[in-house]
Structure 1
Amino acid sequence: MQQEGGAMKAWVVEGYGTLDRVSIRDVRIPVVPAGCALVRVLRAGLNFADVISVRGEYQVRTDPPFILGAEIAGQVVDTGGFAHLAFGDLVMAQVTSGAYAEYCAVDAARLIRLAPGTDPTQAAAIPISYTTASIALFDTAGLRAGETVLIHAAAGGTGIAATQLARNAGARVIAATAAPEKAAVATANGASAIVNNRAADWVETLRGIAPGGIDVVLDPVGGDITLQSVRALAWGGRLLIVGFASGAIPAIPANRLLVKAASARGVFWKFDADPSGIAAVQRGLATALAEGTIRPIIGATVPFAALQEGLVELAGGRTIGKLVLDVENA
């Protein structure tokens, strides 16, 4: 094991801008601050939030220079004196930054222990995508068995997670995606029907599939997708605003919500705002992963040196499933 204060490789954001502002640097292994443990990162999940963080457009800004990345799976190499941790424990965590590095100092409260033998590639896909999907569907929307859920970007990391969680809860899932290869993934993942949300008449097609309307819409896309989704809501339907991958922030027509007794809710969580609640959700997800009731679909394992290329593909909407960075073999 390398010692704290030694050298490690990391992807550092030198300044806000395009992805060429991110580069590999040799930096110091973190000295573990009070309340933290040191984790040797094995895998790290790629997220669209990384792209907008580099632009300086993410809701939570970190001033450059900083190490990019917010989702890890790895092994504890310094417990920080916490009795519930042991050297070599396999853990996962969502962090504010620092995931794309060989070592990461993590608030011990954020560390979720994993069952021995858990695949770190699978685990690295859980802390953000599955936590977001769980909070959206259950804490925010109060999803119930028998309801119908429409999931946009259903072949992406959060869409895959939401499909599995909704299906496990007894809901009917309709996946919205345009590309045939993405539709095939969504179907294999448990969606009962597919709509092409790039077609001009997709809402009419959706009404043929779900004549009573949609109870819950999970929307990470924004723009016209959001506006059309409001038209598709059932009485008492809930629109979940997860993000704006299209780059367009819509002005939602309040009259359409009013006449359907519907609601539009933003989905945004911070560990520090509810540490015990978020940790409880993530422990449940770790158990579900160990039991096999959830299983991330990994689109690709990205070599450490190819992070930029992976983020470019993610930003362009060309990925299927979750992209995971191989930090172990940096």
Structure 2
Amino acid sequence: MSAIGITPARGLARAGRRPAIDVARGLALLAMAAYHGSWDATYFGLAGFDLLDNPLWLAARTVILSSFLLLAGIGLVLATRDGLDGGRFLRRLGRVAAGAAAVSAASYALFPDSPIFFGVLHHIAVASVIGLGFVRLPAIVTLAAAVAAVLVGTTQSFPLFDSPWLRWIGLTTVAPDSNDFVPLLPWIGGVLAGIGLGRLWPGLGQGVAVTGHAGRLLAFAGRHSLAVYLLHQPLLFGIAWAVAQLMPAETLAVRSFQASCVASCERAGVARTTCTANCGCVQSELARNGLWEGFVANRLSERDQRGLQAAVAACSKP
């Protein structure tokens, strides 16, 4: 593939579109797919990425999600720059809401203990409606609202919002167990920032065309972002599942144990190298004492539990 190229436009193929924005949206989708692929590989024991506690992975999630929401805000400004087309807006909103419902239904079937009840698509649907109230306001007002949303959402919490009916707003004292939770606060700050940026810079991405195979492919993905979003995770999840089926169950069990053990150990403040050595030692001790299979199947008797504790104690000695 040739490099992505952005050049002055000479008769855009689709009037009113801004290919540079489509490319940016495509890049955000690509980054999100990479993150989801890493999650899938970890889930099936093919890798040991610490997505929930490693600061770099947490920062990556924040950047990817923020860029996605920022572009949603910019897109809302572009879609309403000549006035609100109510029919077009409602059709788009309906598609996003239907996609969100499909994601929830699939997650409840696959992960009933941690379903997605308010993920990124749910958020975009609600934020798009709220965002209509900001698309004609001065940019400084909207940007100030974005900052306020982030500050309130990251510093305030109230037991009231732990209710299943209100936790989608954010401000919870305990984070819900969900595989993708994107509450209104603080994340609507990303959408509002996009609206403010779109108002502050009306010509953003205007007058340029995308060249090169990679650029055109990214622009295509950006134009069909909802379809790409809905299709990529089932595809990646299926690929990871298929690869896992080809690997020995014992290998996957060891990898899964090692990854979760090291992550738990690091959360206790122990160096990663020490955690890796200790966890490997524990697994070896369990296997040597005939406890490994029972441990993997979660069928350790009270006596076996004492054996597990003895293995952990022995491997933790300096």
Provide TM-score, normalisation by structure 1: 0.23
Higher strand share: 1
Q: What TM-score, normalized by structure 2, do the two folds share?
A: 0.24
Q: Going by fraction, where is helix more abundant, 1 or 2?
A: 2
